[in-house]
């Protein structure tokens, strides 16, 4: 098998000018036998662990990224530093005081303010949805703790998250109504007790800042059931601090043989939340894109594949920093893609308007079909939060859509660990990325053509 692949590789080297489906299929099959992604993922989660921007672990992750890309043969490996105001968690605890005492599983939300050192004790007002809170009168919640207990819908595309996550940022709605603290049911599809954290916008001048935290799903339900029977009192202590720090984005290239043909920017984010080891969010995105790019090194291709490990996605900043650092060379980025929905199977590829009709891209549909990856005709959205800024500035994006059915059971919780990654699905991701990159790296299609 290996001998035959080598012969095929040589033939392709001579003939591949534009997107070549045979070469893409060869890379796809090589990816299904390749453990680079698993090794990268295991290494980052084991050797660095949780790595929020602004912590010493983020500096370790930076050094890890440089060493890993260098060891794998990437060139132009470098670090891009940017300033970061980082919110960091300190001690947190909460319990139901009455009708009976019960410890609560909770995590403060990024950018929450602290409670007084002795904490806050108050009665809870429960709303079944964010809409119900917004419809409540201004007088509803004076001196109370507001809980929005809106469940999240499980969907393959992950759009249940977009709907539910608005409740995470609703502390200002509670503050407007006189609340002393804001609790949200974890933005989660699981019934496990582990809470799921996440970032919220910093308080704006003129707003009355109140502490905000996410409760484990069963605890939010328990309070809702109790509140239907009578008053529920909760004690809450949330401590945190904010530091001026530096964050780092790490970048490395697999060079193409036609520098004038530009680069494809791909990657994931290097930072993670603190409760787990950030395996699916987003060490797997880094692992998948590094492994796919590394496979490309074995075959000739026109464009450079640039793998970027963005340094502050969770609490924001790395997308804007990337735009600021590269604004004069955006024209050389032919297309960009980010992997940031875990490690479960890719089920579809979205390309910019018109791309699927290009003669040297259309055959990619057949290359992806055995992987159960569909050619999706709808163009992608922003392509990943680290790409939003460069996409808004005109860089086309593609999206390899991952099955998110399971992702939000673990996302931003203590269960985001290596244990929940399926190595077979991880390889399927690499195969979809490698085949796609192979075509995108060689195609003659102008992805900017379909853009306004
Ligand atoms: Zn992420």
CA of 279 to the centre of ligand 1 (A): 10
Structural contact between residues 345 and 425, judged by C-beta atoms closer than 8 angstroms: yes
Q: Which of 80, 92, 313, 314 is catalytic?
A: 313
pLDDT on residue 3: 35
Is 18 or 170 the better-scoring residue by pLDDT? 170
In this structure, are strands 106-108 and 212-215 parallel, antiparallel, or unpaired? antiparallel
Residue 2, phi then psi, degrees to nearest 5: -65, -35
> What pLDDT sits at residue 382?
82
Beta-carbon-side half-sphere exposure of residue 219 (alpha carbons within 13 Å): 26
What are the pLDDT digits (tens) for 214-241?
999 999 999 999 999 999 999 999 999 9
CB atoms within 10 A of CB 138: 9
> Ligand 1 centre from 442 Cα, in Å?
29
First vs last Cα of the chain: how many Å apart? 46
- How far away, in angstroms, is 124 Cα from ligand 1 center? 31
47 tagged catalytic: no
Q: Which two tokens stand for residue 259?
A: 């520098």
Cα separation, 297 vs 291, in Å, equals: 10
**And the tokens for 346?**
């890719």
How far does the centroid of ligand 1 lie from the alpha carbon of residue 161, in Å? 13
pLDDT-derived band at 8, boundaries 50, 70, 90: very low
List CB-based neighbours of ion ligand 1 within 5 Å.
281-282, 340
Range 262-282 average pLDDT: 98
Query: Using CA atoms in the order 249, 282, 441, 80, what is the torsion angle rounded to 10 degrees?
Result: 0
Q: How far apart are CA 22 and CA 229, in angstroms?
A: 66
3-state secondary structure of 129: coil
Instruction: Specify the residue for token string 């590269």.
Output: 326
Residue 164 has pLDDT above 70, yes or no: yes
**Four-CA torsion 20, 337, 404, 194, nearest 10 degrees:** 140
pLDDT for residue 452 is more than 90:
no
Quote the crossing angle between the two packed helices 284-296 and 21-31, to the nearest 10°: 130
Angle at 435 between CA 288 and CA 400, to 5 degrees: 55
Dihedral sign of CA atoms 82, 57, 384, 316 in order: negative
Average pLDDT, the chain: 95
Percent of the chain with pLDDT over 70: 96
Whole-number Å distance, alpha carbon 272 to ligand 1 midpoint, is: 7
30 within 8 A of 254, measured Cβ to Cβ = no
Q: Tokens for 299, please give them.
A: 């075959």
Cα distance between residue 107 and residue 344, in whole Å: 26
pLDDT tens track for 9-31: 444 443 445 779 999 999 999 99
Coil, helix or strand at residue 152: coil
Task: Write out the two tokens for 13.
Answer: 């080297």
Q: Is the backbone of residue 303 left (phi > 0), alpha (psi -120 to 50) or beta? A: beta
pLDDT at residue 282 above 50? yes
SS3 percent helix, strand, coil of the chain, rounded to 5, is 35, 25, 40
The radius of gyration computed from the CA coordinates of the chain, to the nearest angstrom, equals 23
């Amino acid at each position: 098998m290996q001998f035959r692949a080598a012969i095929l590789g040589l033939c392709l080297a001579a003939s591949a000018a534009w997107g070549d489906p045979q070469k893409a299929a060869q890379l796809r099959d090589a990816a299904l036998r390749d453990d680079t992604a698993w090794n990268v993922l295991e290494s980052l989660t084991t050797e660095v662990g949780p790595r929020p921007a602004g912590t010493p672990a983020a500096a370790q992750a930076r050094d890890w990224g440089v060493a890993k890309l260098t060891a794998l043969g990437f060139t132009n490996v470098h670090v891009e530093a940017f300033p970061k105001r980082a919110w960091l968690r300190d001690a947190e605890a909460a319990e139901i005081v009455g009708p009976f005492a019960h410890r609560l599983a909770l995590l403060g939300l990024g950018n929450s303010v602290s409670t007084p050192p002795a904490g806050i004790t108050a009665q809870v007002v429960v709303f079944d949805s964010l809409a119900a809170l917004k419809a409540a009168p201004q007088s509803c919640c004076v001196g109370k703790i507001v809980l929005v207990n809106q469940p999240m819908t499980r969907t393959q595309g992950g759009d249940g998250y977009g709907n539910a996550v608005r409740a995470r940022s609703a502390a200002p709605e509670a503050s407007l109504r006189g609340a002393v603290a804001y609790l949200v049911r974890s933005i989660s599809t699981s019934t496990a007790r582990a809470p799921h954290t996440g970032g919220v916008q910093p308080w704006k001048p003129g707003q009355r800042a109140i502490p905000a935290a996410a409760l484990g799903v069963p605890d939010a339900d328990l309070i809702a059931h109790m509140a239907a029977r009578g008053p529920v009192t909760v004690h809450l202590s949330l401590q945190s601090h904010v530091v001026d720090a530096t964050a780092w984005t790490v970048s490395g290239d697999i060079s193409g043989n036609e520098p004038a043909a530009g680069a494809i920017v791909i990657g994931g984010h290097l930072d993670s939340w603190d409760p787990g080891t950030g395996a699916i969010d987003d060490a797997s995105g880094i692992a998948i894109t590094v492994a796919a790019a590394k496979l490309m090194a074995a075959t000739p291709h026109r464009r450079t594949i640039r793998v970027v490990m963005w340094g502050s996605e969770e609490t924001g900043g790395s997308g804007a920093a990337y735009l600021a650092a590269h604004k004069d060379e955006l024209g050389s980025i032919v297309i960009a893609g980010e992997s940031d929905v875990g490690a479960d199977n890719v089920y579809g590829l979205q390309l910019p308007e018109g791309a699927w009709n290009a003669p040297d891209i259309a055959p990619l549909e057949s290359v992806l079909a055995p992987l159960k990856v569909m050619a999706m005709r709808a163009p992608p959205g922003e392509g990943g939060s680290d790409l939003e800024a460069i996409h808004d500035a005109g860089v086309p994006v593609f999206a390899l859509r991952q099955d998110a059915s399971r992702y939000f059971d673990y996302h931003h919780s203590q269960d985001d660990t290596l244990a929940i990654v399926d190595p077979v699905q991880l390889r399927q991701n690499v195969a979809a990325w490698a085949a796609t990159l192979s075509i995108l790296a060689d195609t003659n299609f102008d992805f900017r053509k379909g853009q306004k």
